[in-house]
Amino acid sequence: MNHLEIEIKRLKVEMLEMFELIHLQMKKTQEALISMDLELAREVNFNEKRVNALELKIDKDCENIFALFNPVAIDLRFVLAVLKINYNLERIGDIADGICRYVVESKTPFDKELLFVTRLNEMFNTSIQMIADVKTAFDHEDTKLARGIFQKDDLLDEI
């Protein structure tokens, strides 16, 4: 295994860690919002620093791979994909952080009927499942699975 392959493998492990962290952040955000669990919301807010630090580390590692190894073909596409995925996962983490900040600052719990009518729990479950599916597709480098995740129109048809 050459140095580039080692760095690509290390980058993949870091990305899988980011997927896990964001998946957990979203699950905790869902629970904190629905049950108005302030402690859980604060935990999500605290872990946002970890999400940001990991995002910066992954970006730096991608930059180092570009600078030191000048990747081409499949390696170049992989590193570019990691950059885009990493950015979007960090944004999801920011959204979870924002929701939890709202939970912490809110004085009253959400009306259960409003949560039901807006299908908030359903949206959370769908987004959490999508993150898990994308992680699986990324881990197995399965582009067919990845395409299939975003072609599920059944949920969009209901809206």
Q: Answer yes or no: are the C-beta atoms of 10 and 50 closer than 8 Å.
A: no
Structure tokens that stand for 7 in this block: 């760095």
Residues 74 and 139 sit within 8 Å (Cβ to Cβ): no
Q: How far apart are CA 92 and CA 123, in angstroms?
A: 14
Per-residue pLDDT, 6: 96
| 1 has pLDDT over 70 | yes
Each residue of 102-143: pLDDT tens digit?
Answer: 999 998 888 888 888 999 999 999 999 999 999 999 999 887
Report residue 120 as tokens: 């908030």
**b/e 55-83 (16+ beta carbons within 10 angstroms → b):** beebeebbeebeeebebeeebeebbeebe
In the DSSP assignment, the letter for residue 110 is P
* pLDDT tens by residue, 65-114: 999 999 999 999 999 999 999 999 999 999 999 999 999 999 888 888 88
